[in-house]
Amino acid sequence: MTQYVYFFGGGKADGNKDMKDLLGGKGSGLAEMTNAGLPVPPGFTVSTRACNLYMETGGRLPAEVDEQIEKALARLEQLMGKKLGDPADPLLVSVRSGAKFSMPGMMDTILNLGLNDRSVLGLKAKTGNGRFAKDSYRRFIQMYGNVVLGIDKDKFEHELAAIKKKYRAAADVDLDEKALDEVIARYKAVVQKETGRPFPQDPREQLRGARDAVFKSWGNPRAVTYRKLNDIPHDLGTAVNVQTMVFGNMGENSATGVGFTRNPSTGAKEFYGEFLQNAQGEDVVAGTRTPHPIAELQKVMPEAYKQLREITTRLERHYKDVQDFEFTIQENKLYMLQTRNGKRTGLAAIHIAVDFVEEGILTPREAVMKVEPQALDQLLHPIFEPKQRAKAETAAKGLPASPGAATGAVVFTADDAVAWSQKGKRVLLVRMETVPDDIHGMSVAQGILTATGGMTSHAAVVGRQMGKPSVVGCGALHIDAKGKKLKVGGQVVNEGDAISIDGSTGDVILKEMPTSPSEVLQVVAGKLKPEKSVLYQKFEKLLGWADEIRRLGIRANADIPRDAKVAFAFGARGIGLCRTEHMFFAQDRLPQVVRMILAAARGQRGLDLTRRLKDRLKEARGSQTAEIKKELAKVQKEYGKHVADYTGALKKLLPMQRADFAGLFKEMHGTPVTIRTLDPPLHEFLPKREELMVQVAVLRAKGGARNKAEVARKEKLLRAVEELHEFNPMLGHRGCRLGITYPEITRMQARAIFEAAVQVAKKGIPVKPEVMIPLVGHVEELKRQKQIVIEEATAVLGKDGSGVEYLVGTMIEVPRGAVTADEIAREAEFFSFGTNDLTQMGFGLSRDDAAKFLLYYQEHGILEKDPFVSLDAGGVGQLVEIGVQKGRKVKPDLKVGVCGEHGGDPSSIHFFHKVGLNYVSCSPYRVPIARLAAAQAQLEKPVGD
């Protein structure tokens, strides 16, 4: 026989704390507290199994469920010495829902069930308190009417307000018994009118009705939405708790309250909570009367207070976690009604985890498991002043791309952002979407807001990397960049108007909001001494424990020394990805880059032809010599200028890149620095075709000699842009394909890397460069690029290597690369999975266009998560696994890492840990998250111990 009903009472319970699946959180907590001998009103829990049956059968529960409930009820009646519905001395119960995870949005609790027109008189007689009895009855009709019969709450509130007005009562408690009789009469009339039936008087019918309402509430839209948002499975079901009532509304020596064993927003070790005298149930949180801070309970009911502190302290130790509890005091006697692990902010989580270790409640390993990695984010970014935030209205919502609160004056272009901020204004950059040459504006802005794009759009990735609060893909914005204004929900925001965004939630608020800076970040940035910040010390302590546990190395994706410095301070030990091209967008470089691009095709061809002819010249005899020389002259005439431009631009870029790399090496203090050779399609460095066409047309219309020269220049650029145009740039001329067709570029970059390495090594700072070739799909691609790198290394480092050890490896980001990883491993000294591209190509899903349908996919359950945010373990993950296995088959010690955005996502980190990667690399601000997530992955699934 299946057990559907679990009893608790008389010092013993059928269930315990490990039965949340079956009894829900509330039921298992009540059972556990009962077993611990705490004062819990007795009752029984109908299991989630019954709920699932109820849902499956459309409400036809097997008879055994009802039989078991009857039995439990009989046992309860015996224990309490009262009977449900007994007109002389009724047993009253509450009916409470309770799923495995606490879920606001589910059914409200029903109290005082068992009262009817006759038993209310019995309750009055038995307690000698008519006011209390009537108050309990009117509450019951109201709750049952609303929750079970589906009558609008307002209908009852309306009647209550009328009576309060009639008797000039300020609060509910001011109504006397006679007034409450009137309320009851009116409530019953409401029920009759709304349902066409009188209020049910049969307690068994009441109980069945309440039970079924709880089961049904599992499927109500609010609950379904909540589960979706919080990744809670839909098939868990909810339990129903039927529990003997105790009364906080029996007068001034009675009370009800809620509390936490520690402050859940700051983590401070202080008793935290509120209570109300002569009140019941949710009065404390309903806001109708102002509750008192729990400390005052000590004055009014010292005995109960003392007992409450003892019990909750015990519970905290028992559960090894902060407890969120509910209690009721009936005539000075304390009852516990609920306990569960308390939700807390990221800030509180750190304090609590470390304090618990210091108090001997948790071991460091247990503490590491207690903090949600994602919650660390809250410590690194500015936040809105909580009270102000609660008051402010959310005007629109976008994707929470990069956390933190930002407020500033709206500007619509990167140039304006710079101009305004030079005048000392704090700006918020609002763009349709951002592009690489918006970087200068992004870096001065307080935050970034875009109307299109997903979690891995340019704005999102760069925002995270810079640690800038960013909200992207906010479709409700209608941006008129030319007119310098935007519209959202009927409101117009002009350039210069203040708005605020919350990158942790995606909220957009149309006014200025006060923010406070992150203490941890101030320490990391060297603006605050670590000794001055208790928070920072605890943060580092917790992460220090994580470091001792984890097997994955943590590196950062950083392009410039400033980011590298932050990354190192956060605990990154290496750079997993330096995107060399990001440095190309700097204002002093872009002209050289453009010059290089314009000349690249012909310049490289000129160089190749010249080289070939010169080789032939060496072996030439007699008349051949003259002929080759003539041909050389012809090549010189045709290509000379392009060659000069091409090599000239590269020569100018070399020292700039060298300086960048030297800076990175210095900041990383001898940890490995992985530098990727040029990756994006070249057209990304040039202006947009449409823009150029407009400019040319405008200049032509203006006429004049100066404009004419400018027209010629722009037209040349336009031709180049058109030549470089690709239908599918992400699958086009990019990655190693550039370095193969334009080897001079790879050569220059390799040279810059090794010259920088020598420079820094000479100063006594160790360096470990790792040169990484992107987008390799065929071993031959890597082989050729590697050869160039080695040639330059040998040329720069000399035979002895100048004390610089380096590696040449590749990104695995093309599916073909993953499945031929064994061949590639013969050439590669390391692998780094570029999971952004691997997802894009593995799914055949354009990262830049996917926002349009990916959200739909998620909303309709086709995909559970955005695969660009959380690695698709089942599909793209297999490519990673195959890559690792095949690579290590050839080279057992092959170092393998990941440098896609997934490197900072906790669930992806669990996957990477499991498949045996050596390290993950993520944006600097996610390094702490990665450290903690990697430790949790090891604790959950130990490898290598």
Query: Which residues are tagged catalytic?
Result: 458, 899
- Binder among 45, 68, 254, 256 for ligand ADP (CB under 6 A): 256
Total binding residues toward ligand ADP, as defined by CB under 6 A: 16
Q: Rounded to an integer, what distance in angstroms lies between the CA atom of residue 736 and that of residue 568? A: 29
Q: State the Cα–Cα distance between residues 600 and 586, nearest whole angstrom.
A: 20
Q: End-to-end alpha-carbon separation of the chain, Å? A: 44
Site string for Mg ion, 223-252 (x = CB under 5 A): ------------------------------
Residue 111 CB, shortest distance to ligand ADP, in Å, is: 6
- Minimal distance, residue 279 CB to ligand ADP, in Å: 9
The binder of 41, among Mg ion, ligand ADP, none, by C-beta within 5 to 8 A per type, is ligand ADP
From the CB of 98, what's the least distance to Mg ion, in Å? 8
E-strand ranges in 100-248 read: 110-113, 238-244
Stretch that binds Mg ion, among 382-390, 745-753, 829-837, 903-911 (CB under 5 A): 829-837
Burial letters 660-675, b for 16+ CB under 10 A, else e? bbbbbbbbbeebbbbb
Q: In 141-271, where do the E strands start and end?
A: 238-244, 255-260
Q: Could you tell me the two tokens for 839? A: 């997802």
Answer with the entry of Mg ion, ligand ADP, none that 246 interacts with (C-beta below 5 to 8 A by kind).
ligand ADP
Interface segment toward ligand ADP; rule CB under 6 A; list 242-250, 267-275, 385-393, 656-664: 242-250
CB of 260 to ligand ADP, least distance (A): 14
Give which of 373, 309, 313 is closest to 346, Cα–Cα: 373
Residue 281 interacts with, from Mg ion, ligand ADP, none (CB under 5-8 Å by kind): ligand ADP
Residue (of 502, 401, 529) closest to 455 by Cα position: 401
Residue 25 interacting with Mg ion (CB under 5 A): no
Query: Is residue 337 a contact residue for ligand ADP (CB under 6 A)?
Result: yes
Examine residue 503 and tell whether it contacts Mg ion (CB under 5 A).
Answer: no
Distance CA 754, CA 453 (A): 38
Q: Which distant-in-sequence residues (6+ apart) come within 8 Å of 562 by Cβ?
A: none
Considering only residues 27 through 46, tell me which ones interact with ligand ADP, judged by CB under 6 A: 41
Choose between 22 and 92: whose C-beta lies nearer to ligand ADP: 92
Quick one: which segment of 237-245, 657-665, 689-697, 935-943 binds ligand ADP (CB under 6 A)?
Answer: 237-245
**Position among 32, 438, 792, 837 found at the interface with Mg ion (CB under 5 A):** 837
Residue 837 binding result from Mg ion, ligand ADP, none, given CB thresholds of 5 to 8 Å by partner type: Mg ion
- Asked if 282 interacts with ligand ADP (CB under 6 A), we say yes
In SS3 terms, 19-81 reads as CHHHHHHHHHHHHHHHHCCCCCCCEEEECHHHHHHHHHCCCCCCHHHHHHHHHHHHHHHHHHC
Which listed residue (338, 434, 504, 671) binds Mg ion by CB under 5 A? 338
**What residue has token string 């117009």?**
492
Asked if 829 touches ligand ADP (CB under 6 A), the answer is no
Q: In this complex, which beta carbon is closest to ligand ADP, that of residue 135 or of residue 507?
A: 135
User: Is residue 342 at the binding interface for Mg ion, with CB under 5 A as the rule?
Assistant: no
- Rounded CA-CA distance 556/564 in Å is 8
Contact 936, 369 (CB under 8 A): yes
Closest CA to 539 of 403, 413, 353: 353
Residue among 102 and 522 whose Cβ is closer to Mg ion: 102
Q: Which is nearer to ligand ADP, 179 or 279 (CB)?
A: 279
Q: Find the shortest distance in angstroms from Cβ 256 to ligand ADP.
A: 5
Spatial separation of the C-alpha atoms in residues 158 and 153, rounded to whole Å: 9
Contact flag: residue 256 with Mg ion (CB under 5 A): no
CA distance 719 to 177: 90
Contact region for Mg ion (CB under 5 A) — 278-286, 687-695, 785-793, 835-843? 835-843
109 binds, among ligand ADP, Mg ion, none (CB under 5 to 8 A by kind): ligand ADP
- Provide the minimum distance between the beta carbon of 689 and Mg ion in the complex, in angstroms, as a whole number: 24
* Strand, coil or helix: 162: helix
- Let me know the angle formed at the C-alpha of 338 by 334 and 339, rounded to the nearest 5 degrees: 110
Q: Which of 28, 34, 47, 109 binds ligand ADP (CB under 6 A)?
A: 109
Residues 304-333 within binding reach of Mg ion (CB under 5 A): 326
CB 114 within 8 A of CB 91: yes
CB of 776 to Mg ion, least distance (A): 11
Q: Which residues contact 881 (CB under 8 A, 6 or more apart)?
A: 915
Which of 69, 99, 191, 245 touches ligand ADP (CB under 6 A)? 245
d(CA 851, CA 868): 11
Least gap, CB of 679 to Mg ion (angstroms): 6
Q: Tokens standing for 467? A: 């640690």
Q: Which is nearer to Mg ion, 467 or 834 (CB)?
A: 834
Least distance (Å) between residue 834 CB and Mg ion: 4
- Helix H or strand E encompassing 516: strand 515-516
- Residue 52 sits at φ, ψ, to 5 deg, of -65, -40
- Reported as half-sphere exposure (CB side, CA atoms, 13 A), residue 599 has a value of 24
Min separation Cβ 257 and Mg ion, Å: 11
Tell which positions 593-622 bind ligand ADP, by CB under 6 A.
Answer: none
Query: Closer to Mg ion at the Cβ: 284 or 444?
Result: 284
The secondary structure element, H or E, covering residue 812 is strand 807-812
Residue 842 CB: number of other CB atoms within 10 A?
21
Q: Which does 520 bind (CB under 5 to 8 A by kind): ligand ADP, Mg ion, none?
A: none
Q: Does 48 bind ligand ADP (CB under 6 A)?
A: no
Q: Is 470 in the site for ligand ADP (CB under 6 A)?
A: no
How many other CB atoms sit within 10 Å of the CB of residue 171? 9
Q: Does 557 bind Mg ion (CB under 5 A)?
A: no
Q: What is the CA radius of gyration of the chain?
A: 35
Distance CA 112, CA 79 (A): 18
Q: Pick from Mg ion, ligand ADP, none: which does 94 bind, CB < 5 to 8 A by kind? A: ligand ADP
- Which of the stretches 82-90, 241-249, 446-454, 883-891 binds ligand ADP when contact is defined by CB under 6 A? 241-249
Residue 834 near which of ligand ADP, Mg ion, none (CB within 5-8 Å, type-dependent): Mg ion
Q: Residue 111: which of Mg ion, ligand ADP, none does it interact with, CB under 5 to 8 A by kind?
A: ligand ADP
Task: Single out the residue of 40, 61, 72, 111 in contact with ligand ADP (rule: CB under 6 A).
Answer: 111
| Smallest gap from residue 206 Cβ to ligand ADP (A) | 15
> Per CB under 6 A, does 934 bind ligand ADP?
no
Shortest CB 928 distance to Mg ion, Å = 25
Half-sphere exposure of 730 (CA within 13 A, CB side): 14
Cβ atoms of residues 298 and 322 within 8 Å? no
- Measure the CA–CA gap between 65 and 490, rounded to whole angstroms: 55
Tokens standing for residue 90: 């009724």
Which of 203, 281, 291, 681 lies at the binding interface for ligand ADP (CB under 6 A)?
A: 281
* Residues binding Mg ion (CB under 5 A): 326, 338, 813, 834, 837
* Residues binding ligand ADP (CB under 6 A): 41, 94, 96, 109, 111, 243-246, 256, 281-282, 326, 328, 337-338
